[in-house]
Amino acid sequence: MLADYHLHLENGPKELEYVKKFLDQGKSLGLSEIGFSEHCYRFKEAKHLLDNFFTAPRNVDSVKEYLELLNQAKSLGWPIKIGIEIDYVPEAESAIREFISQYEFDYVLGSVHWLGDFGFDLKEHLPRWETSDLDIIWHDYFNTLLKAAQSGLFDSLPHPDLIKIYGFYPKTDLNEFLEHIIKEIAKTGVALEASSAGWRKPIGEMYPSRFILGLIKKYQIPITLASDAHFPEDVAKDFDKLLVNLKETGFTEYLRFNKRQRIREELK
């Protein structure tokens, strides 16, 4: 069994027919289960969690309708899990906790896309990279990722080294710092995501890097699998390469979830 737990419906109609396109694509590539984890900022009920120039015009959907649609798909016997991807903002931790408590998800992803008002993976913010202290940005990112892990809010943290997306690397060697972060994350019990999405981004490599992947294995952190597909044709894209990297690093299993309870699966 293989599962892709990071899919987005935002670019199509909120209809069963569109959901099925993701499912059919996954089945064609050998998946036994898929999981949707829509961006939390899409939902009007979550506007207070992250409200800025980027999220405001995209705050148009209803979490209630999202859940109804996917529960309807489940009722048809479709192998689907219902998740959500929440941007972790340290100042909003209490509000995030309250939001999560109101709904029944199979799993909750906690991602870091923002460092203050810097949406570091946005094309609109590319010029800011040119004038930023890269060492500070990388330290801020991974310290925030650690806070997300320590919050206890999330089941898995997606694309754990997303900060590399445009290839802006620090001048100093951060390997010792990164090992410290991964070691501390291991103490929290949260999973980290292995994602093929990076091969479709400017960086052109999986998330996380082979170095960080080795640390995740070293400290026995469980993983979830993801393509971060925003369109049906990207479901499980490059999973063949993803699995090669995981097996070469020594991974033999990954996690699925049901109502936020872990299910360990053999990695085949």
Cα 139-143-145 angle, rounded to 5 deg: 120
164 vs 152: CA distance, rounded Å: 25
The ranges assigned to domains in the chain are 3-266
Per-residue pLDDT for the chain (268 aa), expressed as one digit of tens each?
Answer: 899 999 999 999 999 999 999 999 999 999 999 999 999 999 999 999 999 999 999 999 999 999 999 999 999 999 999 999 999 999 999 999 999 999 999 999 999 999 999 999 999 999 999 999 999 999 999 999 999 999 999 999 999 999 999 999 999 999 999 999 999 999 999 999 999 999 999 999 999 999 999 999 999 999 999 999 999 999 999 999 999 999 999 999 999 999 999 999 999 8
Token pair belonging to 169 = 């690397």
255 vs 226: CA distance, rounded Å: 11
CATH number of 3-266: 3.20.20.140
Token pair belonging to 10 = 């935002």
